[in-house]
Structure 1
Amino acid sequence: MRRLACALIGATALLAVQQAAAATKLTIATVNNGDMIRMQKLTDDFTARNPGIELDWVTMEENVLRQKVTTDIATKGGQYDIMTIGTYEVPIWAKQGWLVPLDNLGPSYDVDDLLPSIRNGLSLGGKLYAAPFYGESSMTMYREDLFEKAGLTMPEAPSWDFIAEAARKITDKAHEVYGICLRGKAGWGENMAFLTAMSNSFGARWFDMKWQPQFDGKAWKDTLKFYVDLMHDAGPPGASSNGFNENLALFQSGKCGMWIDATVAASFVSDPKESKVADKVGFALAPDRGLGKRANWLWAWSLAIPSGSNKKAAAEKFIAWATSKDYLKLVASKDGWANVPPGTRKSLYDNPAYRKAAAFADMTLKSIQAADPTHPTVDPVPYVGVQFVAIPQFQGIGTAVGQQFSAALAGTTSVDQALKNAQALTEREMKRGGYIK
């Protein structure tokens, strides 16, 4: 009996070793945003349904993630089986053959339910190359109690002049309440996402129709001066180091009167578990300058498979799970409908339970639908993209320009010098790229 028992134990142990060896491990690179962190906590649901797949998470700050995944995919490093990338990278990388088309997401996935503008931004030649985990535009979030105290009423569609006047009026630096929080951290997807969208509303553009950079024009000077002056008067200290996560923390702790940023933040500032001001938040469209364009962008954090991965079938199973209608229901069952990842599916905005729970649902959808990547500026441009320019060189140029503008906000250089430097470095890189002579 003892021998039999030992044999059975040995066989069981061997089977366990064999099963472990047979398991497919997916390495997933992702960003440290709240929705992604929630996804990691819920992946027991996926592994229970797919016992042969293990998940290894590599979670990074936004700028670091962009750098790491770009380097890995361009050098065919093969570190990751699934990458979290955005609307900028997908069509460029798909054209290079760096991404796998998502052809097998399953019969219940319902690709046609994806919001058209979000789906189009993640497609090339009619094929989907990344599945959106959440989609966003940008909008104005504000403290209704501070506005009431100051005798102000936020319009649904505010102007930049109103925003500036209100920000200065509700600032109370003695009590660490700042009228407005805006991105200042350098990065093409950090401060330049905000400033490019803002510049569109001021009539600026990155390039004219001949690909000549436009930072030496009046519209960019008006944009950057308005931003720097406003942040000096009504922004928090150290704003040149603040990106999305830092400003979110400031707003949640009651230190921001207004915050113009990603619509995805709405559920976090409205969550009483996370936000001290959850019951005092109102929402409005991103501001305009009266020129026909608002400062709202279009983006989707999405999951894609690099062509170097040899675990494509397992990776596609995970992506189908994480971006499905059923995943939205899973989040709702755990954390409530207001906290499901927004901005990807038409059916979510047709869902009465979601619309009732999420006071920001209509404003989010309006903002996403108002963004037009094919006509992002007042004057015509040769590029596609609202808060970015969809050319391979933009990642480097955008970050370099972002460093100049962050320095202007910090006061280590002037607005004029920052713009002069931006013009020179952009001209240099566009010549290297063959766009201009």
Structure 2
Amino acid sequence: MTTTFRALLGATALLALTAGAQAETTITVATVNNGDMVRMQGLMDDFYAKHPDIKVEWVTLEENVLRQNVTTDIATGGGQYDVMTIGTYEVPIWGKQGWLTSLDDLPAEYDVNDLLPAIRGGLTVDGHLMASPFYGESSMVMYRKDLMEAAGLKMPDAPTWADIETAAKAMTDKSKEQYGICLRGKAGWGENMAFLTAMSNSFGARWFDENWKPQFDQPEWKATLDTYLHLMNEYGPPGASNNGFNENLTLFQQGHCGMWIDATVAASFVTGKDSTVADKVGFALAPDNGLGKRGNWLWAWSLAIPSSSKNQEAAKTFIDWATNKDYLALVAAKEGWANVPPGTRTSLYSNEEYAKVPFAKMTIDSINAADPNAPTVKPVPYVGVQFVAIPEFQGLGTTVGELFSAALAGQSTADDALAAAQTAVTDEMTSAGYIK
């Protein structure tokens, strides 16, 4: 073998190695530490078998931290993430800013027309799909059937807040660390304020009147906060001001909550293998007060690609895998139909196997009961059920959430918290030019 031939062979081998190295694309996916997303990470062998040329690095964060990180990254064009897990609040705002990449060119097999209309509508900006829903949710009542029966009560399918208080009182036995109700108390626009804003709708409250004047000084908000604090102080667990979705999920699974009003997506976890009360759980619509609005929200955790991503084709490939019908079938095969990410596709709710899941109908009924275009009893200038779809809301909701969480912790009164919220929100809305 000549020296020249050896050199040629060496060069060819080097080129082959270089091409192989270049063929693998690494994408970074930022997501929330909720159970469905953690489950997805455990199913990545299926993705790699189909797409060996793409490597996925995960950044998995607590909800408030995730929101802060992805907001900072996308607003500055940082390019740290190729796929972001974001919600129905961010998509229309960021889409209009040009911060997101359209997903209109996902493969035909993705079947965009199969997406539930309410969910798809919230993720569409100027006719373009800007994010793909991983799971959709509303909120509902999850309750202990055994404790209700022991108390001689029956939960209505469509309860009022008075029904909720009656049940919470009857199921509370603090000597056994058994609390009648668990609700979000952790501060955050997507934590306690998601719950409280949805709750306030059923009390006839609203964030703003038609002229963007804050409404925390009105009796409807006082009734909302007084009811919430009463329920939590009388019948809730200690330290509730630190509890968000995951903390309350653990409490319920361990048998410490008679009721939990929260995301419909929690149903598979309170009835799953990690729940000590799995066979004792019933479901009902979120409560109302007879005013025509229930205290339930509408949300989708969705996957989106920031415009700053340098790996957009690989990112689209991942999103298609994680949010198409084949992924639902994969989860069903591995984990059972009850653990399929809910609330995104029409075909799931026409599936005879999924129809047998005990919470399937209540979930879709709850999603259909929420109207982001008319979220309140009185007219409002905004859309959004548990949020106000303006850029300022992220900061406003967190500020008010901190004030209300402090009231729950006993650091202030309801009246003081509402007065401080009215002042803070008025100042911000004036500075932002909403209030003339």
The equivalent of 1:181 in structure 2 is: 182
Q: For 1:178, what is the secondary structure of its paired residue?
A: coil
The equivalent of 1:412 in structure 2 is: 411
The equivalent of 2:196 in structure 1 is: 195
2-structure distance, mates of 1:263, 1:426: 30
Q: For 2:109, what is the secondary structure of its paired residue?
A: coil
1-structure distance, mates of 2:87, 2:400: 20
Deviation at 1:20, TM superposition (A): 3.0
The equivalent of 2:239 in structure 1 is: 238
Amino acid in structure 1 at the alignment position of 2:159: P
Q: For 1:146, what is the secondary structure of its paired residue?
A: helix
The equivalent of 1:302 in structure 2 is: 302
2-structure distance, mates of 1:371, 1:33: 23
The equivalent of 1:328 in structure 2 is: 328
Instruction: Tell which deviates more after alignment, 36-45 or 343-352.
Output: 36-45
Amino acid in structure 2 at the alignment position of 1:190: E
Structural RMSD (CA) = 1.8
Instruction: Tell which deviates more after alignment, 231-240 or 41-50.
Output: 41-50
Percentage of identical aligned residues: 69
Q: How does 1:26-425 map to 2 (within 5 A)?
A: 26-271=27-272, 273-356=273-356, 358-425=357-424
2-structure distance, mates of 1:380, 1:16: 64
Deviation at 1:16, TM superposition (A): 5.1
2-structure distance, mates of 1:9, 1:96: 50
Deviation at 1:10, TM superposition (A): 11
2-structure distance, mates of 1:22, 1:128: 28
1-structure distance, mates of 2:341, 2:312: 24
1-structure distance, mates of 2:318, 2:11: 33
Structure 1: 5+ residue stretches without partners:
none
Q: For 2:108, what is the secondary structure of its paired residue?
A: coil
Per-residue CA deviations over 1:227-269 (Å, capped at 9, x if unaligned) read 0011000000000000000000000000000000000000110
Deviation at 1:350, TM superposition (A): 0.2
Deviation at 1:14, TM superposition (A): 7.5
1:169–1:106 Cα change, 3 Å? same
Please tell me whether the aligned partners of residues 137 and 264 of structure 2 are also in contact (alpha carbons under 8 angstroms). Answer: yes
Please tell me whether the aligned partners of residues 79 and 310 of structure 2 are also in contact (alpha carbons under 8 angstroms). Answer: no
Amino acid in structure 1 at the alignment position of 2:361: D
Q: For 1:407, what is the secondary structure of its paired residue?
A: helix
Q: For 1:320, what is the secondary structure of its paired residue?
A: helix
Deviation at 1:186, TM superposition (A): 0.2
1-structure distance, mates of 2:22, 2:402: 47
1:253–1:15 Cα change, 3 Å? farther
Instruction: Count residues in correspondence.
Output: 433
The equivalent of 2:23 in structure 1 is: 22
Query: TM-score w.r.t. structure 1 length?
Result: 0.96
Per-residue CA deviations over 1:2-57 (Å, capped at 9, x if unaligned) read xx9xx999987984564234311100000000000011111111121111111000
Q: For 2:199, what is the secondary structure of its paired residue?
A: helix
Structure 2: 5+ residue stretches without partners:
none
Amino acid in structure 1 at the alignment position of 2:56: L
1-structure distance, mates of 2:405, 2:11: 63
Amino acid in structure 2 at the alignment position of 1:48: A
Per-residue CA deviations over 1:174-219 (Å, capped at 9, x if unaligned) read 1111000000000000000000000000000000000000000000
Deviation at 1:165, TM superposition (A): 1.3
2-structure distance, mates of 1:47, 1:348: 25
Q: For 2:106, what is the secondary structure of its paired residue?
A: coil
Per-residue CA deviations over 1:83-135 (Å, capped at 9, x if unaligned) read 00000000000000000010221011110000000000000111100000000
Query: TM-score w.r.t. structure 2 length?
Result: 0.97
2-structure distance, mates of 1:178, 1:12: 68
Amino acid in structure 1 at the alignment position of 2:420: N
